[in-house]
Structure 1
């Protein structure tokens, strides 16, 4: 169990490092217009925007599924 958690943790850390290095490389070696096209106008907060959109998408799916389950099982409770 400990080995599995260790490898998962190392994988997450490695992934974060690779993504941050790749973003730094893209910022350093691409023209501003190309960066704005790929990363958007707010280039400093790409990670936070991505995280916010993932959380919003998860919450939307969660509410949809909850409404679906409530509709499916509301007749059983009554």
Structure 2
């Protein structure tokens, strides 16, 4: 169990580092119009928007799975 938590945490950290490095590269090496197209108008909070999007996607998947399991158990009890 500890190994799984470790590797998931390592993957999250590497993902955050990769996104931040890619964002820094794009900011440094692209013209303003292209940057606005790629990163959006709020270029300072790209990391937080990305993280918030991941959290929202996780919650949606979790909620969908919970509803699926509730339907399965309700069908078994009926």
Task: Confirm or deny a common fold (TM above 0.5).
Answer: yes
Q: 1:46 to 1:66 in 2, by over 3 A?
A: same
What are the superposed Cα offsets for residues 31-57 of structure 1, whole Å, 9 maximum, x if unpaired? Answer: 110000011111111111011011101
Shift of 1:69: 0.4
User: Greater RCO between the two (CA within 8 Å, min separation 6)?
Assistant: 2
Q: Normalising by structure 1, what TM-score? A: 0.71
Q: Which runs of 5+ in 1 are unaligned?
A: none
Tell me the residue number matched to 1:71: 71
Q: Which moved more, 1:8-17 or 1:46-55?
A: 8-17
Q: How does 1:1-78 map to 2 (within 5 A)?
A: 16-77=16-77
Cα RMSD of the aligned pairs, angstroms, is 3.1
Count residues with an aligned counterpart.
77
Q: 1:45 to 1:65 in 2, by over 3 A?
A: same
DSSP-derived class of the 2:22 partner:
helix
Q: Is the 8 A contact 2:26 2:35 kept in 1?
A: yes
Matches of 2:32 and 2:20, distance apart in 1: 18
Q: Which runs of 5+ in 2 are unaligned?
A: none
Once superposed, which parts of structure 1, at least 4 consecutive aligned residues long, lie more than 4 Å away? 5-18
